[in-house]
């Protein structure tokens, strides 16, 4: 049932070109400029007039929510707040009938997320679910939703569900931006065509596996890791750190790269591996100067860069070159080598990758 793979997690990492394509199938038709999300269409009017969007989730799904914050604000120009479900539900939040809530959950059973939905519903908000498990509790509690169609995810560490969540949220943001007129038609068409190429770009990124194994071998005994990125790559840094923590038990932190100088820089010495997501985007130059700051303090640099980048190659100890895409779509590709890195480190450390200690696949208690 592992399809010839040693672990479910590796199988699921490798399934991503297909799971992302499955998620877009029947929804995205770039050639004809068509983007249809069933459950979303019926609520389009409400969505278009929302005062704000509140995204609520836990863990990896919360990271997908952070990516969505950037997407919705950039393309649809609607203010977004991203909330841990556990915090949202207990702090008497200000919510009313003009709010739109998006709840993201792979399992559809996470207790805190479910309770956050019930709370927002009782205050009159409209609730939209982005879930993977069909017929689970969260889709039943929401007004509408779009499934991620990633297929069953067995490994406790979420991988293909994360990229499918981002795929759905990307389609929602583009559609909403187009409908609201904040995303001009020609740009919309361009983005749709690029989105269609993502499965093949993820396929290409997966081929870096051997290189990543070498990097894993070098750093498997590290006690700490730092992950840094800016903009769309900030949530990718958080997700890379979470993957490493949960399956290899190495302490790791993700930060927005600019926050480094406000504290974490004190941690850097020759024993600290720092993973940068430094793709060619609007914050590239700034990330490059953050890399120099780490290098000056003798930190070990592993950088995920855009194919053909020569600048970072001269500074980093290792570069991982991923295919170029639109800035807004980079998380879908950039997270893949970080999943592989955590997987290989965990395997080399002899950890139980598919069932890490103390963790459960769905967290049905708060």
Q: Which of 17, 59, 177, 229 binds ligand F6R (CB under 6 A)?
A: 59
Binding region for ligand F6R (CB under 6 A) out of 52-60, 188-196, 209-217, 278-286: 52-60
Is 240 a binder of ligand F6R (CB under 6 A)?
no
Is 16 a binder of ligand F6R (CB under 6 A)?
no
Is 315 a binder of ligand F6R (CB under 6 A)?
no
Is 362 a binder of ligand F6R (CB under 6 A)?
yes
SS3 for 98? coil
Q: 3-state SS of 34-91? A: EECCHHHHCCHHHHHCCCEEEEEECHHHHHHHHHHHHHHHHHHCCCEEEEEHHHHCCC
Q: Which of 69, 246, 327, 354 binds ligand F6R (CB under 6 A)?
A: 246
Q: Which of 19, 105, 279, 340 binds ligand F6R (CB under 6 A)?
A: 105
d(CA 72, CA 268): 35
DSSP 8-state code for residue 166: H
Contacts for 90 with CB less than 8 Å, ≥ 6 apart:
none
Q: In what order do the strands lie in the sheet with 144-147?
A: 80-84, 52-57, 99-105, 126-131, 144-147
| Residues known to be catalytic | 361
Contacts for 298 with CB less than 8 Å, ≥ 6 apart:
268, 269, 270
By beta-carbon proximity to ligand F6R, the closer residue of 22 and 239 is: 239
What residues numbered 133-162 form the site for ligand F6R, per CB under 6 A? 157-158
> Least separation, in Å, of the C-beta of 292 and ligand F6R?
32
Binding region for ligand F6R (CB under 6 A) out of 65-73, 76-84, 100-108, 252-260: 100-108
Binding region for ligand F6R (CB under 6 A) out of 32-40, 44-52, 55-63, 214-222: 55-63
> Least separation, in Å, of the C-beta of 362 and ligand F6R?
5
d(CA 128, CA 140): 11
Is 209 a binder of ligand F6R (CB under 6 A)?
no
Q: Which residues of 87-103 are buried (b: 16+ CB within 10 A; e: fewer)?
A: ebbeeebebeeebbbbb
- CA 74 and chain centroid, separation: 17
Is 340 a binder of ligand F6R (CB under 6 A)?
no
Binding region for ligand F6R (CB under 6 A) out of 53-61, 167-175, 216-224, 316-324: 53-61
Total binding residues for ligand F6R by CB under 6 A?
A: 15
Is 19 a binder of ligand F6R (CB under 6 A)?
no
> Least separation, in Å, of the C-beta of 72 and ligand F6R?
19
Binding region for ligand F6R (CB under 6 A) out of 21-29, 102-110, 142-150, 258-266: 102-110
DSSP 8-state code for residue 313: G
Please, are residues 64 and 169 in contact by the beta-carbon 8 Å criterion?
Answer: yes
HSE, CB side, 13 Å, CA atoms: give it for residue 347. Answer: 17
By beta-carbon proximity to ligand F6R, the closer residue of 60 and 325 is: 60
Is 106 a binder of ligand F6R (CB under 6 A)?
yes
Tokens of 340: 């592989």
Q: Which residues bind ligand F6R (CB under 6 A)?
A: 58-61, 105-107, 110, 113, 157-158, 242, 246, 362-363
């Amino acid at each position: 049932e592992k399809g010839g793979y040693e672990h479910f997690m590796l199988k699921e990492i490798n399934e991503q070109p297909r799971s992302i394509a499955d998620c877009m199938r029947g929804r995205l038709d770039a050639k004809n400029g068509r983007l249809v999300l069933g459950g979303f269409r019926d609520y389009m009017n409400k969505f278009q007039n929302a005062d704000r969007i509140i995204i609520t989730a836990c863990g990896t799904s919360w990271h997908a929510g952070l990516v969505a914050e950037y997407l919705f604000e950039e393309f649809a120009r609607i203010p977004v707040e991203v909330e841990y479900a556990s915090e949202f539900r207990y702090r008497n939040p200000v919510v009313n009938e003009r709010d739109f809530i998006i709840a993201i959950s792979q399992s559809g059973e996470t207790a805190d997320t479910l309770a956050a939905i019930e709370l927002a519903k009782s205050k009159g908000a409209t609730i939209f679910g982005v879930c993977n498990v069909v017929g689970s509790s969260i889709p039943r509690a929401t007004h509408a939703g779009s499934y991620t169609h990633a297929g069953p995810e067995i490994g406790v560490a979420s991988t293909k569900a994360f990229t499918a969540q981002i795929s759905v949220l990307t389609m929602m943001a583009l559609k909403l931006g187009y409908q609201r007129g904040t995303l001009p038609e020609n740009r919309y068409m361009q983005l749709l065509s690029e989105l269609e190429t993502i499965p093949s770009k993820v396929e290409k990124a997966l081929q870096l596996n051997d290189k990543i194994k070498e990097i894993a071998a070098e750093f498997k005994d590290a006690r700490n890791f730092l992950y840094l990125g800016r903009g769309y790559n900030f949530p990718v840094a958080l997700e890379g750190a979470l993957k490493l923590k949960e399956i290899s038990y190495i302490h790791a932190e993700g930060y927005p790269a600019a926050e480094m100088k406000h504290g974490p820089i004190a941690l850097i010495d020759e024993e600290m591996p720092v993973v940068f997501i430094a793709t060619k985007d609007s914050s590239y130059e700034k990330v490059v100067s953050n890399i120099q700051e780490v290098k000056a303090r003798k930190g070990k640099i592993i950088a995920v860069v855009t194919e053909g980048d020569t600048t970072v190659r001269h500074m980093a100890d290792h570069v991982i070159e991923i295919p170029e895409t639109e800035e807004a779509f980079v998380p879908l590709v950039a997270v893949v080598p970080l999943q592989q890195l955590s997987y290989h480190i965990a395997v080399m450390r002899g950890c139980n990758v598919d069932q890490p200690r103390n963790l459960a696949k769905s967290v049905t208690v708060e």
